[in-house]
Chain A
Amino acid sequence: LAKTTQPISMDSYEGQEVNITCSHNNIATNDYITWYQQFPSQGPRFIIQGYKTKVTNEVASLFIPADRKSSTLSLPRVSLSDTAVYYCLVGVTYNNNDMRFGAGTRLTVKP
């Protein structure tokens, strides 16, 4: 199982772009990178997934450098409602038992 390292917490202000970086030095060739978001009193929800380069959807962008040993979740123009815990997972998507949630990054957006 590939291990991930994220900052424990981050602060930002409304309207700013937030970048959360995840380190995964022992990522394997077949591993994908997946990010989840968890609001207080709710279960996590899927945000974005990628294998290499850049992936963008309506919520976020995911940047993955060529060596894939890290990845960056980018949230454009955050609002107070983006305050949540963000989890980075690495593993093969075809195996139920391969991906693990770490402690996540607690993002606090201030007015």
Chain B
Amino acid sequence: DVKVTQSSRYLVKRTGEKVFLECVQDMDHENMFWYRQDPGLGLRLIYFSYDVKMKEKGDIPEGYSVSREKKERFSLILESASTNQTSMYLCASSLPPTEKYEQYFGPGTRLTVT
């Protein structure tokens, strides 16, 4: 069965801390994505990666960076956490886009920055 796991379900960090959110998929998918989800705004794409060491900015990359050193792992980094980064963070993976394009999501990490 397809599986995307995220390192933590809940995380509390202080303003200014460096935060790492880890995502691992076991499906050998080329593509991986990071979203944040806020009430009333749906899911917004932060970054995605279509191959190891490759990344592209999504709609809201400011304040975030990513790392993909191995195919199965995609990390989201908050260099200096701020309170407006308090949110639910969702990771997803997919095969390369074809006629049927399906993203598989992890359970999410609820990050609170105080």
Contact = CB atoms under 8 A, between A and B. Distances in A.
Contact of A43 (B45, B50, B92, B97): B92
Q: Which of A41, A96, A97 has the most C-beta atoms of chain B within 10 angstroms of its own C-beta?
A: A96
Interface of B: 4, 31, 33, 35, 40-45, 48, 50, 56, 58-59, 90-92, 94, 97-108
B42 A49 contact: no
A94 B100 CA distance: 9
Interface in A14-32: 32
Interface SS, B side: strand
Interface SS, A side: loop
Contacts of A56: none
A103 B40 contact: yes
A53 interface: no
A104 B100 contact: no
- A-B residue pairs, 7 tightest by C-beta: A43-B105, A93-B101, A101-B43, A103-B42, A46-B102, A94-B97, A101-B42
A36 B101 CA distance: 12
A46 B103 contact: yes
A77 interface: no
Interface residues of A, number: 23
Contacts of B106: 43
A34 B94 CA distance: 14
A37 B100 CA distance: 17
Contacts of A32: 99, 101
A87 interface: yes
A100 interface: yes
Given A43-B4, A87-B42, A102-B42, A93 B100 contact: yes
Nearest to B39: A103
Interface string A52-82: 0000000000000000000000000000000
Interface in A38-53: 41-46, 49
Contacts of B104: 45-46
A26 to B, nearest CB: 18
